[in-house]
Structure 1
Amino acid sequence: MAAAIPLSLLVLLLLGPGGWCLAEHPRDSLREELVITPLPSGDVAATFQFRTRWDSELQREGVWINLGRSSVMSSQGSSAPLSTSSTPPTRSLPLPPSNPWVWPMAGLSVLLKADRLFHTSYHSQAVHIRPVCRNARCTSISWELRQTLSVVFDAFITGQGKKDWSLFRMFSRTLTEPCPLASESRVYVDITNYNQDNETLEVHPSPTTTYQDVILGTRKTYAIYDLLDSAMINNSRNLNIQLKWKRPPENEAPPVPFLHAQRYVSGYGLQKGELSTLLYNTHPYRAFPVLLLDTVPWYLRLYVHTLTITSKGKENKP
């Protein structure tokens, strides 16, 4: 059965920041976030974003092999060998004595458990590096490293026939402490179609604040859980965000965003197999740019000459 997948989740990646729990320059900016979105199909999408920004310039030409031994760099010829070197950070966290190379996990990285992340219906990860202007005139720049991970859980199957979900049910872990070096560490939960007056649904714990924004023509509401707030975790020693249905929802069509997609495989055999992706834009007047990245199943053979694009009933030649 084709499931409606809201593409607004991809745009949401640009809203929040994040960062791995490792830094050594005092002016570094480390931010991390987790966005949880219940999908109309009943699945649950989770998007991690870790963003690191540092003010130091990247070394563009490598390191000479005699760096530190001599200050005369011109003595090396044009074909001198290059080498890379790394130094431990001047400020480090306490490390386990058994293995000094293993950093203790904290913050959102606690949820990154491989056997749970790869046992999902969808998995996507990306690494982006870009320059960021430090001022309006862009006379100096900083470098930003953004690492993202998106997974989709089938809450109905993993929940044994229930649509309830929680951090522990999805990741088999809960949040125990924020990243000590992160300037921001937050969890966002999409509660657009839910409110406190809805007797059929319960979100626990109650969020301390909410955030609203218009994503692809639809106003979204997000519950914000700030891990840097000491009261958020200290009250229960761990944070396990969960959504429970007090009674089964009525048989009514789930809300579908203006821009959504359906994808299914049909046909039979290698020659008659088809992979179809349908994009829908139900907005009354607005058009949206779409970048479609697809993963082809291993049992299908696709050819460029068989690609067809149909828009408004007319075929567009690529």
Structure 2
Amino acid sequence: LATLLNAGAIHNTRYHSLSIHLRPICRNAICSLSSLELRQSIDLVYDYTILGSRNWSLRKLFGQGIMSSCPLAISSTIYIETTSNATNSFQLSPTPDEYITSTRGGFVNEFAKYIIKDKPMTIAATYPEHHYYTVNIPPPLYANQYKTGYGQQKGGLVTKIYNNHWTPLDVVLLQNLPWYIPIYLHTMKIESNGIPMIPLQMIYKPGKVREKSHSLELVLRLPSKSTTSIKFCFDYIFLKWQEYPPDANHGFYIGSTIISALLPLGRNYTGIPQDGSLYADSFNASRNSYLVQVRTEPVVITLPTPDFSMPYNVICLACTVVALAFGPLHNITTKRLILKVNNDNLLSKMKKIGKKLFGVKED
């Protein structure tokens, strides 16, 4: 995986995310022995307009192909979902080693499997010239977050959760805010389709200045086909000049809000089950419910920021004044004015006048 992490290719995507998961797992059925599992993952979202074509390949997406299998892994495998071939067909090259059909939560998905060997390889997909765009069906649960207010005195934060499922969903909202954004709990308003609602449970831990952040956790029951908004107000405070980051005028990032829920259906669900470690463990892994975590986009706020360029201007002005004053003072204090003694007689003066008249140059 590390060989495909090309910074130029990754930052050309619409969205990218790197994650590291560390958890204890059982070695045997009775869990008498345990180990630590480390899972690294990367999520990338590409745009056809940036790529210039719907045809893609590993070399085009990551800047290079796969050179060899992982020397530390027992096996290295690539899975490509081909469920959309029913509507938007594409041709894979080279031919996959195996085709897999997975039924999960009442939905059937198809995958192409490639086994990576100790030789360079790349995978490419070619689409036909004519493409038929279908209607994008929104996911059953998604959310976003944005800032309200103006100026640098008071502001607000709004989190909207969309439930497109036909049944109510119980969700857990977790939000951590830095200590330099004091929030007012009495200003919090929760509305679902414009109707006020009360959370099933609420845990609020206020923060302390320069010690710990604010923590807010809510348990909500979202009605079916609803849009629920959580609003509250906060203040902007002044920081010490040592507490500002190098690029203070860029602003401060507020972390994403985490929304957790158990979905009753497995459509477009690719999460690995709790008792599995590999992506292959999610094939034909139907459950009564499926845990999903949705993270909103981070928000940038601008705190009252001093003019950090003023010390630079003062230094430049002071150095200029010192330089202008130092030259004359140095000349006055280190040099002596002495009257030049004139020893020229009448004959030498006549010679100088004659040279000037006749244009004679001195050697």
- Scaled by the length of structure 1, what TM-score is found? 0.48
Higher RCO (CA 8 Å, separation ≥ 6 residues): 1
Structure with max Cα Rg:
2
- Scaled by the length of structure 2, what TM-score is found? 0.43
Between Structure 1 and Structure 2, the one with more helix by share is 2
